[in-house]
Amino acid sequence: MAKMTSFQYVEFYDVPRCIALHYRGRLFLLQSAFDENLDDYPSSYSIYILPDSVKASLRSGEWEFLRDTKMTCVGQIRIDQVVFDATKRKELDASILDSFAADHEQGTK
pLDDT value for 108? 47
pLDDT value for 89? 97
The 3-state secondary structure of 32-82, one letter per residue: CCCECCCCECCCEEEEEEECHHHHHHHHCCCCCHHHHCCCCEEEEEEHHHC
Listed as ranges, residues in the chain with pLDDT below 50 are 106-109
pLDDT tens by residue, 47-67 = 999 999 999 999 999 999 888
Q: pTM of the entire structure?
A: 0.89
d(CA 97, CA 23): 8
pLDDT value for 67? 87
Separation in Å, CA 45 to CA 41, 60, 106, 108: 10, 24, 22, 23
pLDDT value for 103? 66
14: left (phi over 0), alpha (psi -120 to 50) or beta: left
pLDDT value for 109? 41
pLDDT value for 102? 76
